[in-house]
Amino acid sequence: MKSKTPTPSGDQLLSMLAALSNPHRLRIVAMLKSGGRNYVSQLARELGISRPLLHLHLQKLEDAGLVVSQMELSQDGKALNYFDVSNFDFELTPAVIAEAVKSLSNNPEQ
C-alpha cells in the first residue's frame, strides 16, 4: 500500500499550488510521470517550448518539491541535467487547508 506524503505546511502548500497553477508545469509533471526521468533538451523538444522557458518552469516545480534534478555526464562527456517527478500524495481538503493556514509564515493570527 502506498503511503501518503506528510501534509505540507502552509508555505509548502502555497508553493505547490502556485507551481501547479500553470499549464506548462502541469504538462511537465504529467510527462515526467508517464515517461520517466528525462533531460532538459529532450523535455523541451517534447513539450515544444524553449529550454530557457522550460528551465524557468522546472525551477518553480523544483522549489516547490514537485520535481528533483540530477546532473549526469553522457557517454560523450556532456553534462545533462535530468529531472524526475517527486512522489507526492496528500489529500487537499478544507481541514488540511485550515491546518496549513496555522503554519503560514505571514499568518496575521499569530
43, burial (CB in 10 Å: exposed 0-12, middle 13-18, buried 19+) = buried
Contact 101, 55 (CB under 8 A): no
Percent of the chain scoring above 90 in pLDDT: 69
Please report the pLDDT score of residue 90 as a whole number: 82
**109 falls within a domain:** no
Distance CA 100, CA 79 (A): 39
Residue 87, domain member (yes or no)? yes
Single-letter amino acid, residue 108? P
Domain that holds residue 49: 8-98
pLDDT band at 88 (very low <50, low <70, confident <90, very high): confident
**Is 30 inside a domain boundary?**
yes
Residue 44 · residue 86 · CB < 8 Å: no
Give how many domains the chain has, as a whole number. Answer: 1
CATH number at residue 79: 1.10.10.10
- Asked if the structure places residue 1 within a domain, the reply is no
DSSP element (H, E) containing 36: none
Which tens digit of pLDDT belongs to each residue from 19-31?
Answer: 999 999 999 999 9
* Alpha carbons 86 and 109: distance in angstroms, whole number: 32
Q: Do 40 and 87 form a contact (C-beta atoms < 8 A)?
A: no
Residue 38, C-alpha cell as written in the block: 528525462
